[in-house]
Amino acid sequence: MKESTVTNITPSTTSKEKSSLAKFCTQLPAPKAILTVSSYSNLFATHHQPINHYYVSTLIEAFSDRSNNTSFMQLTRNHLMTLQLLNITKNVDRPLSSGRPISEPPSQNVRNTLVFDLDETLIHCNESIEVPHDVLLNITFPNGDSTKAGVNVRPHAQETLKELAEMFDLVIFTASHECYANVVIDYLDPKGTLIKGRYFRDSCFRTPEGLYIKDLRVLNRPLDKLILIDNVRFI
């Protein structure tokens, strides 16, 4: 699952409306600076015989032959994108800020906290409600429009959350909009007894490239007591 991407909410009306819904869900934008095959064309042009450069040759093959969709080639493409996005986040040259202010210094007398991502970690939202799903959820957007989202829950996710809540404080931190994420979290924790905190897109820092980065300081807890469980490394 590529970060994926929960462009997965399917509207029941027109394609124009469908394109506007994606902004409420976690998406992985294509980075602006992509390594291209031409970056290495001069290197290969100087050799009369085919040469094999460890890793680089595989990258060139993955991006020059898009028809090759083996799992290994797809993994190679995803790996390169991850490296590029890691470089983007590494070069963020100012303290991350968010929609939620950081208040008093965190107390040291808190339990260890597990910070769960939502999409592609605890659940997967399908691109179409025609795809088999575990539950069909009603999503209402801030403008009053509504749609349905077919969601698959990771096997044993709810049982796992219940067990972990006995030992840790559980928090959901997602780059999705709260109008969508709240409905999903309510389904995972219908009694509201497991999840101690909910943080959404307005708590993320958005880079110029369009990436949403999670600054864990907004949780106002000691960083050495936080464990982030996320499907994307660069978040």
Q: How would DSSP label each residue in 64-106? A: H-TT---HHHHHHHHHHHHHHHHHHHHT--S----SS---SPP
Q: In the annotation, is 119 catalytic?
A: yes
Adjacent-strand bridge partners of 147: 139
Tokens of 36: 């291209």
Please give the Cα distance from 228 to 217 (Å, whole number): 12
Catalytic residue among 65, 93, 117, 230: 117
Task: Give 139's contacts (C-beta < 8 A, 6+ positions apart).
Answer: 9, 24, 146, 147, 148, 149, 179, 180, 183
Catalytic residue among 65, 119, 145, 224: 119
Task: Give 114's contacts (C-beta < 8 A, 6+ positions apart).
Answer: 164, 168, 169, 170, 171, 227, 229
DSSP state of 54: T
User: What's the chain's Rg over C-alpha atoms?
Assistant: 20
Q: In the annotation, is 145 catalytic?
A: no
Which positions are catalytic? 117, 119
